[in-house]
């Protein structure tokens, strides 16, 4: 079986993708600053260091595909000037290191499959965003454009590049949904602002299947939106989670925009921004979503949690 090299393999998406690949018989190498022993015969860890610009050359020599997920978490900290630079550098410099090591190391890499984000697009103004839309001129738009450009350079080395612009990932193991679920323990469904802003989302299960599809489907190339075909408003998203978790035993509470701005600073712009993104391009390749509707996605997540 082929070997897949994953950057950011210890994160939410990386862990789930690793599990799927191992189940399908693939070999997996995870790049990390702190390699450790693996108990699975098809999984190993290899070292890379962005500061020192080092990367274990044997990892590249053994791999057939790269899945590039590395990048500082956008929502972990307030967006100070320093933090924004960290977010940008973690994406661009990691892709640059991959490019440089691929250029000077003998390898048989066929594809580079990279994450990006729907933050590439500006706020929704009536027309749903498709992949050929221009990037926004805000922080995330500029960051995503630079991120994607740094990955596309690997086409110069003869590698097929596939980029997945990912929306809000639905999982109770991490990400925004885990934060939304915390107030529900007290019976509150917290809606952001007026709740009317559009949210383009995807169930973690479907996102991992998209990455696997990019590995096995040789017809895929270029940029695809990794989002469900059914975007919802923030209020619809939060209420779907609340109903799946609590039935009707909850109270809906709106967090005013000014309170979000005080608490989150500049990051509140993204929480309140309306992003409506099309899934048509990936669906036209024949990909079928397991969870196209938010209610079914939430019910599955909560059912799995109860087990």
The two tokens of residue 263 are: 């608490």
Stretches in the chain below the pLDDT threshold 70: 306-307
Q: What is the pLDDT of residue 52?
A: 92
Of 10, 16, 6, 7, nearest in space to 171 by CA: 16
The full set of domain ranges for the chain reads 3-169+201-227+276-284
Class of domain 3-169+201-227+276-284: alpha beta
Query: Cα 181 to the chain's mean position, in Å?
Result: 19
Q: What is the pLDDT of residue 269?
A: 79
Q: What is the pLDDT of residue 175?
A: 81
Q: What is the pLDDT of residue 271?
A: 83
Which pLDDT tens digit goes with each residue over 148-179?
999 999 999 999 999 999 999 999 888 888 88
């Amino acid at each position: 079986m082929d070997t897949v090299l994953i950057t950011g393999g210890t994160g939410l998406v990386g862990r789930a993708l690793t599990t799927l690949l191992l189940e399908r018989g693939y070999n997996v190498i995870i790049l990390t600053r702190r390699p450790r022993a693996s108990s699975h015969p098809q999984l190993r860890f290899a070292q890379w260091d962005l500061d020192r610009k080092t990367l274990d050359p044997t990892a590249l020599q053994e791999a057939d595909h790269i899945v590039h997920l590395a990048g500082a978490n956008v929502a972990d900290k307030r967006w100070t000037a320093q933090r924004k630079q960290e977010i940008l550098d973690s994406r661009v410099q990691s892709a640059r290191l991959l490019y440089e090591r691929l250029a000077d190391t003998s390898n048989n890499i066929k594809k580079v499959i990279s994450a990006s984000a729907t933050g590439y697009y500006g706020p929704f103004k009536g027309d749903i965003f498709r992949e050929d839309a221009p990037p926004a001129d805000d922080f995330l738009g500029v960051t995503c454009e630079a991120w994607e450009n740094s990955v596309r350079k690997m086409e110069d080395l003869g590698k097929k590049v596939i980029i997945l612009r990912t929306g809000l990932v639905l999982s109770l193991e991490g990400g925004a949904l885990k934060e939304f679920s915390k107030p529900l323990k007290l019976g509150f469904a917290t809606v952001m602002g007026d709740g009317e802003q559009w949210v383009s989302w995807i169930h973690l299960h479907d996102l991992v299947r998209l990455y696997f599809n990019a590995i096995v489907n040789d017809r895929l190339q270029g940029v695809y939106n990794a989002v469900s075909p059914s975007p919802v408003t923030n209020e619809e998203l939060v209420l779907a989670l609340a109903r799946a978790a609590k039935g009707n035993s909850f109270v809906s509470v709106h967090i005013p925009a000014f309170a979000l701005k005080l608490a989150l600073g500049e990051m509140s712009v993204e929480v309140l921004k309306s992003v409506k993104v099309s899934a048509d391009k990936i669906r036209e390749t024949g990909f079928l979503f397991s969870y196209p509707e938010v209610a079914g996605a939430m019910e599955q997540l909560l059912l799995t949690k109860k087990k």
